[in-house]
A and B are shown apart, each in its own frame.
Chain A
Amino acid sequence: MNVLIFYGLNTKVASAPPLGKFLNPTTGIWQNEMDETVNGEISINGLKETVSVHYDELLIPHVFAQNEEDLYRTQGYLTAKHRLWQMEFQTYAAAGRLSEIVGPDAIDYDRQQRRRGMVYGAEQALNKMQKDTETYKLVEAYRDGVNSYIGQLQTSDLPVEYKLLDYEPELWTTKKTALLLMYMTKMLAGYDSDLEYTNALRLFGKENFDLLFPDFFDVNDPVIPKDTDWSYIDIEMPEAPTEKMPLDSISETLDKPHPDNGSNNWAISGKKSATGNPILANDPHLGLNLPSIWLVMQLSTPNHNTMGATLPGALGVISGFNSNISWGVTNATRDVLDWYKIEFKDESRQTYKYNNRWREASLKIEEIKVRGGETFLDSVIYTHHGPVSYDRNFRYDENGRAGYAMKWIGHIGGNNQRTFMELNRATNYNDYTEALKHFIAPAQNFVFASKHGDIALWVQGLFPNKWKGQGKFLLDGSNPEHEWQSFIPMEFNAHTKNPERGFVSSANQHPVDESYPFYVFNDGYETYRNRVINEFLASKENITINDFKSLHNNNLNLKAAELLPYIFDHMEITSLNDEEKQIYSQIQAWDFKNEIDQVGPSIWDTWYDELYDMTWDEFDVEGTALDEPFNYQTIYLLKNRPEHRFMDILDTEKQENSRDLFLKSFKRAAQKLTNWKSKNGNYYWKDYKATYAGHLLQALPAFSRFDLPIGGGRSIVNATSENHGPSWRMIVEMSDPPRALGVYPGGQSGNPGSKYYDNMIDDWAAGNYYEMHFITNQIKDTKNMTTLTIKPSR
């Protein structure tokens, strides 16, 4: 009996931490009740010369090294010092190894990562990086820096999450940096709906499909302005083949990245700026997590001095500025993930059909180690297209002779690490374009501003040169004409420099208008944020940093503003009861701003959700994966095709039109709101939206922050929804030296026991910013800072 008690106190029982170990004050969580040490002297193995790290009041490290190798070695060390658990956990997730830490519940997730070829893609990228010896040397230095930190860790210093889950960190490898970049690539370029569209095409026919999912909306305010001249593009466009596409059916597709993953960025030229200096801004929209996705640092050598947001696990600054230029990224979505139907010769699946012959496939056996259980083995077949993600063992119920192979840009080795390192050192527009050459995926709209007065925007990624319609649906894996025939050369990617209108911007909208010669597939392009941003910038002169702050925090709900007036004009309100009348008058009084103290946004949100679901009830088909049409097109159809057959609700005898839908959905929404109100009090947007920043362990409440008082919402410039939004907000004025402001919903420390874990959240929610102390003179500019001196070990 006694032995059992010790077993319980020192070993994990199911998902509870081993309590004795966990609460022991000499080794357990009590040891984590502190902030990181940010002064004094330490030494790191392999360092060539002394490095000075100045910490400011936000715990941002300002690193001054004498050479590149020392710089990145130190970046690795410091990133591990502040965010070790996060770095490790994210790369375990990318590699499909979560079952090793948390047990069998993660097996399905891990299988998906393996079947997506996440590790395969990381290996390809690693191969590419290794060929670039200059960059690779630095990636190795980063790795060694991380491992120096891990090497000096005592059990008592382990981050809390290790103690909670009862495991220890393993050594960092260069492959893990590649995996971290794959993690971001999946987040931003891993979305597709090809199989869902194939199902929709089969169910509704081409005419309806094209109406519901048009290549261009009737309104377009593209990233690259409309009047851009494309005549310099003289390349041959591929022609669509005449054979039909396979019209298969699938019931459940792979988990997808968050559809709102996107961002805003913009820059104004000197002539539009009150000070005459260009100003640039960037706010990436990602999941609101703790620890934050970003870690702010200043990285400096005698040759370059840069500052901004970094990604724990990768080198350099990702969204930031240096002494000469600034840059930012938004997601440039395009369909770079396609599915090919594979026909195997027989059940052994050793060969598959291609170009009227049988081509050899290869087999990879994925070993998924499971904590407290048996290793799970998953056989994944690889074709020349890519891994056969869907097959008889996973979500595809055909006989053993078929499957779907994934062709993904993420599998083509890219050296985007080099792009960021070159941007960190870039001094002008030419350096910027040179840096972009290495960037393959995830495609981004790179905004640029320099102190010399240039502003620019480049839609950069490696894009397949597709025939019209290619990749919208499932493709035929045996037909060479269905392959990606070639790629668009970088110089033909859409871009603009110093446009007439005096500003550049992007908000995940359509990159171009119809005159662009290459085929660009609309996979849900933004149609609201971009118009609000462009209207704001076009209508003002003498723009200041404060204007940029208001734009970041702009809560105008353009979507509601474009539908509600139409509804108010057309909806029949005689049958509303008293409760409903009250709610109706509340929304009629709303000014279309998603502010925290308004009830209008909550009513709109609930109502629109009901309306949307009701409109697309045809998409609720048992056993068939389908994606409903985009919001913009939904609203377009409700207003312009009110009698279309899709307006009908299938379950009812009556043939509804859009007016009926408005009323029915309103009544349902009113009911929901009334219920909510009786349990929770009045539905002010702050309480209704209930924005939260969740800890990476599925928003463990003890380590998360809830009920953040911030407005905004989807398709609004302040794109903050329930658990998603501006994960970093940066504004940089290109004065000499540059002046930068930044903030993010979290804190520099990954330790929930530190006051720097979440200290910036309140300011972020309130729309405040912090001065980013860009140190140019180590003696003058470091007055209120502590210094950690890092020396080479003997």
Chain B
Amino acid sequence: MIAGFVASFSITLKKAAVFFVPFFAILVFWSFYGLVLSSNNNFILAKRIASLLYLNGNPYLLVLVTGIIGGLAAGIAAILGKQLKTLNQTR
């Protein structure tokens, strides 16, 4: 989240990219990291957590949800960063 905020404050992006670039970046990062950690352990915990979170015990769905949640947080932080930057510039 902090990464998204700082990056967006420093690097200028246009319009929708402000949200979607960090969104996809973190989505991929979180999903991939989670997937690797979990597959090393035969998805034992991922299956359980997936059933806890009403995902029918599907570990891949959990990986996706993880990515989306991380992505959302990053994307929103980026928008915040951009807004702050814009605010800064108009002074």
Which residues of A pack against B, CB within 8 Å?
A: 2, 5-6, 9, 19-20, 23-26, 29-35, 160, 164, 700-703, 751-755, 757
Total cross-chain contacts (CB, 8 A): 79
Q: Tell me if B40 and A5 are in contact (CB < 8 A).
A: no
**Among A30, A700, A701, A754, which residue has its beta carbon within 8 angstroms of that of B37?**
A30
Q: Does B21 contact A (CB under 8 A)?
A: no
A23 contact set on B, CB distance < 8 A: 30, 34, 62, 65-66, 69-70
Q: State whether the Cβ of B18 lies closer than 8 Å to any Cβ in chain A.
A: no
Q: Do B51 and A702 touch (CB < 8 A)?
A: yes
Whether A19 lies near B69 (C-beta < 8 A) is yes
Contact assessment for A26 and B33 in the assembled complex, using a CB-CB cutoff below 8 Å: yes
CB atoms of B30 and A25 under 8 A apart:
yes
Tell me the smallest distance from the CB of A751 to a CB of chain B, in Å: 8
Structural contact, A30 and B34, CB atoms closer than 8 A: yes
Within 8 A of A (CB), among B44-87: 44-46, 48-49, 51-52, 62, 65-66, 69-70, 72-73, 76-77, 79-80
Q: How many chain B residues have a CB neighbour from A under 8 Å?
A: 28
B1 within 8 A of A: yes
Instruction: Give the chain B neighbours of A25 by CB distance below 8 A.
Output: 30, 33-34, 37, 66, 70
Residue B10 is within 8 A (CB to CB) of chain A in the complex: no
**CB-based contact A754/B44 at 8 Å:** yes
Residues of B within 8 A of A24 (CB): 30, 70
* Cβ–Cβ contact B30 & A753, under 8 A: no
Partner of A5, one of B34, B51, B73: B73
CB distance from A158 to the nearest CB of B (A): 13
Distance between Cα atoms of A2 and B38 in the complex (Å)? 31
- A9 partner residues in chain B, CB cutoff 8 A: 69, 73
Interface residues of B (CB under 8 A from A): 1, 30, 33-34, 37-38, 40-46, 48-49, 51-52, 62, 65-66, 69-70, 72-73, 76-77, 79-80
| A30 with B44: CB separation less than 8 A | no
Cα A757 to Cα B73 with chains together (Å): 33
A702 touches B76 (CB 8 A): no
A397 to B69 Cα, complex, angstroms: 52
**Bound form: Cα–Cα A32–B30 in Å:** 15
Q: How far is the CB of B36 from chain A (nearest CB, A)?
A: 9
A35–B44 CA distance with the chains assembled, in angstroms: 11
Q: A6-B73, A30-B33 are in contact. Are A703 and B48 (CB under 8 A)?
A: yes
Determine if B44 and A33 form an interchain contact, defined as CB atoms under 8 angstroms apart: yes
Known: A23-B70, A24-B70, A33-B45. A702 touches B40 (CB 8 A): no
Q: From B80, which residue of chain A is reached at the shortest CB distance?
A: A2
Given contacts A31-B37, A33-B40, contact A753 B69 (CB under 8 A): no
Q: How far is the CA of A696 from the CA of B58 in the complex (A)?
A: 24
Question: In the bound complex, what is the Cα–Cα distance between A336 and B43 (angstroms)?
Answer: 49
Interfacial chain B residues near A164, Cβ < 8 Å: 52
- Selected from A2, A6, A32, A700, the residue in CB contact (under 8 A) with B52 is A700
Q: Given A2-B80, A700-B52, A701-B51 in contact, is the A32-B70 Cβ separation under 8 Å?
A: no
Set A20, A35, A757: member contacting B69, Cβ < 8 A: A20
State in angstroms the CA–CA spacing of A5 and B74 once bound together.
11
Pair B40/A20 contact, Cβ less than 8 Å? no
Contacts of B1 in A (CB 8 A): 6
Contacting residues, chain A, for B44 (C-beta < 8 A): 33, 752-755, 757
